[in-house]
Amino acid sequence: MKTLRKTASIEEGSFDKIDMAILRVLLLDSRKTLQEIGNEVGLSPTSCWTRIKKLEAHGVIKRYTIDVDPAKLGYHDSVIVQVTLESHTDETLYDFGRVLATIPEIQEAYLVSGDYDYYIRIAVRDTRDYERLLREKLYKIPGIRHSKSHFVLRVLKETSVPVI
């Protein structure tokens, strides 16, 4: 166990300020060319490519994706749902998480400490769409004891991991 922790900390500590600069560039626009990234961080394209491959190999860069505006696709509302389950066995938690993963409207789901077991962020078109999702999907999941919903009125900050 100690070896795993030591290995993880060595990997975490092996990223320097240039690696972090590359990550900042990619977080803003992952479609930039190696030449453009290199110009911004002061490296050749080949050196950039080597560092990016290292970041991918260490799992720092997990994937490349796009950022879609949900409202442009008709999802004008977000709802934060707090859920408490009847049981907290490993099997119940696993099954609940597995079912959540199959519901496309669920954007994020967190198993949390405190008064509720899960915080779930859901994208919906409007209140009627949310009601439909509750009836047809969420409330059909066995084991939910209680839920509490909060419509997001305004997003004040939305970002990925801080890369300083």
- Alpha carbons 133 and 100: distance in angstroms, whole number: 12
Model confidence at 2: pLDDT above 90? no
Out of 64-68, 79-83, 160-164, give the one with best mean pLDDT: 79-83
Q: What are φ and ψ of residue 142, in 5° steps?
A: -65, 145
- Alpha carbons 46 and 39: distance in angstroms, whole number: 12
Sign, CA dihedral 110-111-113-116, equals positive
Residues 6+ apart with CB under 8 A from 98: none
Model confidence at 100: pLDDT above 90? yes
| pLDDT tens digit sequence for 20-79 | 999 999 999 999 999 999 999 999 999 999 999 999 999 999 999 888 899 999 999 999
- Alpha carbons 103 and 17: distance in angstroms, whole number: 39
- Alpha carbons 78 and 83: distance in angstroms, whole number: 16
| pLDDT tens digit sequence for 120-154 | 999 999 999 999 999 999 999 999 999 999 999 99
Give the pLDDT of residue 163: 81
Packed helices 34-41 and 45-57: angle between N→C axes, nearest 10 degrees: 100
- Alpha carbons 105 and 96: distance in angstroms, whole number: 15
Of 77, 68, 71, 67, which Cα lies nearest the Cα of 154? 77
Give the pLDDT of residue 59: 93
pLDDT band at 106 (very low <50, low <70, confident <90, very high): very high
